[in-house]
Amino acid sequence: MYSAAVQVQTQQEADRNAAFTDALKQVVVKITGDEESLDNPELEPVLAKSRSYVSGFSYQRNSLYSGQPESNGEERDPSADASSAVFAQSLPEKEYILKVQFSDDALLQQIRDIGLPVWGALRPSIIAWIVMQENGERHLVNSDYPALNMSLAREAERAGLPIFLPVGDLQDLSSVNLNELWGLFPSSVSEASQRYPNDYRLLGRVYQADEGLELKWTLLMGSIAKTGGAKSVDYPSLWRQMTSVVAQQLAEQFAVVSDPTADAQELRILVSGIDQFIEYASLVEHVERLSSVEHVSVRQVYQDKVNLGIKLRGSRANFEQQVALAGKLQLVAPPFSQETELSSAQPPAEREDASLTQDDQFAAVELNEMPQSLNFYWVPDGGA
């Protein structure tokens, strides 16, 4: 999330410093989900001192570097698939790849201070069902097309999107109707998608038009469908346009903008199913890592229940979306009356109303005296 790779011709300091700025731009786009974030004038001082945010870097030789100027692609064959010719214009042309890692805390705070949206590391996994038409025949893009696969993976990584292609074996091909997929009908991949763990589905069709390649796609986000299109002379550029738009569409739903002038919204959540200390620690860490959460405090622990006080950066809707996406907290109906809520972090035996039963003490304060409350069940690793 906070790393990027940039091509450089030498390992000299001048090339390296310029590459740090390019790498930081990539990371900012990944964090915000929006390339237009780079147009914010308040970001310029941050980019100007990109070196100060670098926590580490390394070089590796570019395995695709030939040492010769780029040609029309006839001297290279990046893959054996029929689409290799359209990769020539996007092949790497510098000798080294510089991998840069940035300090996440320092950079994240700067981005929040500027007022840019922050889309956390928790992101929906997307399976991409893309049908390609060549010479009048339609094929499912899969591992049989390594150049297509590699270029899509590279652009998805650049955008911070966990996009993956299906295996494309006999089971997939027997479950997918390519003609229906060409029409971008959601039902065309319903059965086949059940084989793969995924949050969202991306349906696409790509073909050679008179002026180059054309791509149409539909992003299925539950009951919501987002459409888009792109044109280019080569596949990497085509994938970049698609992944940039998809990232922006998802960021609109999940990214959180901090407003330092606004009062932070507070929320109380009650989580059941915490039976071991390691689950307790995992719960607190999990909630703290959500980009919609500014601060977490443990208010009470009782039997298998943990009551957390949460200070939000975004809205309650942002929080609920992120929780649902993570899948570790399952929203449930409250285990007690809607008029009551947990009382305090003070152990029951030390409170003045200790004569009450522990269950009574656990539900002793009126709901209207407390922040908004949600009730969840902790889903252990491997749980449904």
**Phi-psi category of 357—alpha, beta or left, where left has phi over 0 and alpha has psi -120 to 50?**
beta
Which long-range contacts link 12-16 to residues 24+ away (Cβ below 8 Å)? 16/57, 16/98
Give bridge partners of residue 266 from the DSSP assignment: 311
Contact 1, 121 (CB under 8 A): yes
The confidence score (pLDDT) of residue 334 equals 62
Q: Which amino acid is at 25?
A: K
In this structure, the number of other CB atoms found within 10 A of the CB of residue 147 comes to 19
* Residue whose structure tokens are 């304060």: 365
Half-sphere exposure of 252 (CA within 13 A, CB side): 8
In three-state form (DSSP H/G/I as H, E/B as E, the rest C), the secondary structure along the chain is CCEEEEEECCCCHHHHHHHHHHHHHHHHHHHHCCHHHHHCHHHHHHHHCHHHHEEEEEEEECCCCCCCCCCCCCCCCCCCCCCHHHHHHHCCCCCEEEEEEECHHHHHHHHHHHCCCECCCCCCCEEEEEEEEECCEEEECCCCCHHHHHHHHHHHHHHCCCEECCCCCHHHHHHCCHHHHHCCCHHHHHHHHCCCCCCEEEEEEEEEECCEEEEEEEEEECCEEEEEEEEECCHHHHHHHHHHHHHHHHHHHHCECCCCCCCCCEEEEEEECCCCHHHHHHHHHHHHCCCCEEEEEEEEEECCEEEEEEEECCCHHHHHHHHHHHCCEEECCCCCCCCEECCCCCCHHHCCCCCCCHHHHCCCEEHHHCCEEEEEEECCCCCC
The confidence score (pLDDT) of residue 380 equals 81
The confidence score (pLDDT) of residue 105 equals 84
Q: How are beta strands 163-164 and 126-134 bridged, if at all? A: parallel
Contact 255, 160 (CB under 8 A): no
Give bridge partners of residue 56 from the DSSP assignment: 101
Contact 330, 382 (CB under 8 A): no
The confidence score (pLDDT) of residue 343 equals 43
Both tokens of 13, joined, read 């300091």
Predicted TM-score (pTM) of this structure: 0.75
**Distance between CA atoms of residues 335 and 349, nearest Å:** 22
Q: What is the pLDDT along the chain (384 residues), one digit of tens a residue?
A: 899 999 999 999 999 999 999 999 999 999 999 999 999 999 999 999 999 999 999 999 988 777 654 444 433 333 344 444 444 445 557 889 999 999 888 898 899 889 899 998 889 999 999 999 988 899 999 888 888 888 999 999 999 999 999 998 999 999 999 999 999 999 999 999 999 999 999 999 999 988 899 999 999 998 889 999 999 999 999 999 999 999 999 998 888 887 665 566 888 999 999 998 999 999 999 898 888 888 899 998 988 999 999 988 877 888 888 888 888 898 887 654 443 444 444 433 443 444 434 444 444 333 334 456 889 988 887 554
The confidence score (pLDDT) of residue 89 equals 47
**Distance between CA atoms of residues 266 and 196, nearest Å:** 37
Torsion angle of alpha carbons 259, 260, 266, 269, nearest 10°?
70
Contact 21, 47 (CB under 8 A): yes
Distance of CA 117 to the CA centre of its chain: 13
Contacts of 29 (CB under 8 A, 6+ apart): 35, 37, 38, 158, 159, 160, 247
The confidence score (pLDDT) of residue 128 equals 96
